[in-house]
């Protein structure tokens, strides 16, 4: 629970999870700590003998990685490696983890496919997410750990991350500040509603990739990667119209934007 953005928002979400768990057969246990803390992770895995592990913990955000690279290495690489190692020493039926559409970087071919080459990340964040997929593949191959990486596409919804465009720019408009649209305003983006992500993760959890043996007698890595997106990229122009329509009734809100080149 780092302070990348308001911790109070994370605490509110946690309360909602606790409340939901009270009315379900699920026991929810919250352990405060970092996945980069190997001793803690090992202890939790040894204690609970997990069947399925879902790792969503990561330092998110493309722009933040420009000025704060260390935290991405710590959480997304060391932390993720600790999860993989814990799955190795405490075998699980399935490891599901969040990757990102940012691995597609500057790829021009659309729609993006998991068969596309994604070897040219344009941010450290994307590089760590692609690295997670590579590390997971090696661990699947070497230790037969069934793993599935999910490349999420711009997730939105209530209690979403405040640094996401739709929240951060609306906040600026309300404060009477100017907002900017990059690349001459010519951008398209796929959005995915949070409930669809939750449903996708839930379904994937129960479908671990099969363990099988190749013709050479060696195990074929039980490894998958999927895109989870809305499959309907929206141009930023329509984002502008929605922002303008929704923000205009808010008192003190000025509609003030510029379109810049890069
Ligand atoms: N939101 C999106 O549009 C989007 C898109 C692609 C991928 N993802 C991925 O989905 C996952 C969830 O993203 P989100 O948007 O909910 O971001 P988020 O920042 O709200 O959630 C990530 C959580 O991980 C926690 N965390 C960070 N470092 C940690 C560490 N070392 N140990 C333990 N916890 C740690 C943070 O405190 C935070 O609560 C991330 O892996 C992110 O990279 C999100």
Say what the pLDDT of residue 186 is.
66
Nearest to 41 by CA among 116, 95, 4, 119: 95
Is 97 catalytic? The answer is: no
Q: Which atom of ligand 1 is nearest to the CA of 161?
A: 20
Annotated domain spans of the chain: 31-154+190-231, 160-189+233-262
Measured in Å, residue 154 CA sits from the centre of ligand 1 at: 12
For residue 245, the number of C-alpha atoms closer than 13 Å in the C-beta half-sphere is 6
- CA-nearest residue for atom 12, ligand 1, is 56
What's the pLDDT at 183? Answer: 64
- Return the half-sphere exposure (C-beta side, CA atoms, 13 A cut-off) of residue 181: 20
53-112-119-145 Cα dihedral, nearest 10 degrees? 20
Counting ligand 1 atoms within 8 A of each CB, the residue from 41, 58, 105 with the most, and so the one to mutate, is: 58
Which residues are bridge partners to 13 per DSSP? none
Among the atoms of ligand 1, which is closest to the Cα of residue 152?
Answer: 6
pLDDT at 109 over 60: yes
Contact 162, 168 (CB under 8 A): yes
Give the tens place of pLDDT for each residue, 11-41.
999 999 999 999 999 899 999 999 999 999 9
Residue tagged active-site, from 97, 104, 125, 257: 125
**Residue 234 pLDDT more than 80?**
no
Give pLDDT, residue 169. 81
- CATH for the stretch 31-154+190-231: 3.40.50.720
Instruction: State the Cα angle at 124 between 107 and 84, rounded to 5°.
Output: 100
Helices within the chain (DSSP H only): 7-22, 38-48, 64-67, 69-72, 80-89, 124-143, 165-174, 194-205, 236-247
Burial class (CB in 10 A: 0-12, 13-18, 19+), 101: buried
Q: Separation of 108 CA from ligand 1 center, angstroms? A: 26
Is 90's pLDDT higher than 80?
Answer: yes
Among protein residues, the one with the nearest Cα to ligand 1's atom 15 is: 161
Q: Which atom of ligand 1 is nearest to the CA of 79?
A: 31
* Distance separating alpha carbons of residues 45 and 30, to the nearest angstrom: 14
Cβ-Cβ contacts under 8 Å for 25 (sequence gap 6 or more): none
């Amino acid at each position: 629970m780092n302070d990348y953005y308001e911790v109070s928002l994370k605490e509110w979400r946690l309360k909602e999870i606790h409340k939901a768990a009270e009315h379900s057969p699920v026991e929810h246990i919250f352990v405060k700590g970092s996945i980069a803390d190997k001793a803690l992770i090992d202890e939790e895995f040894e204690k609970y003998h997990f069947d399925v592990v879902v790792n969503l913990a990561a330092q998110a955000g493309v722009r933040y990685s420009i000025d704060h690279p260390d935290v991405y290495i710590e959480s997304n690489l060391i932390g993720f490696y600790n999860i993989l190692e814990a799955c190795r020493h405490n075998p699980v039926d399935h490891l599901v983890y969040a990757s990102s559409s940012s691995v597609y970087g500057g790829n021009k071919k659309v729609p993006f496919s998991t068969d596309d080459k994604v070897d040219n990340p344009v941010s450290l964040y994307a590089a760590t997410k692609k690295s997670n997929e590579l590390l997971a593949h090696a661990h699947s191959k070497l230790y037969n750990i069934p793993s599935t990486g999910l490349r999420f596409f711009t997730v939105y919804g209530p209690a979403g991350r405040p640094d996401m465009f739709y929240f951060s720019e609306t906040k600026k408009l309300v404060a009477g500040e100017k907002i900017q649209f990059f690349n001459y305003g010519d951008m398209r983006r796929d959005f995915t509603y949070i409930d669809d992500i939750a449903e996708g993760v839930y379904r994937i959890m129960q479908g671990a990739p099969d363990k099988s043996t190749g013709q050479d007698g060696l195990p074929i890595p039980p490894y998958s990667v999927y895109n989870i997106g809305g499959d309907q990229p929206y141009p930023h122009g329509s984002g502008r119209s929605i922002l303008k329509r929704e923000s205009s009734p808010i008192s003190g809100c000025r509609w003030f934007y510029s379109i810049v080149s890069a």
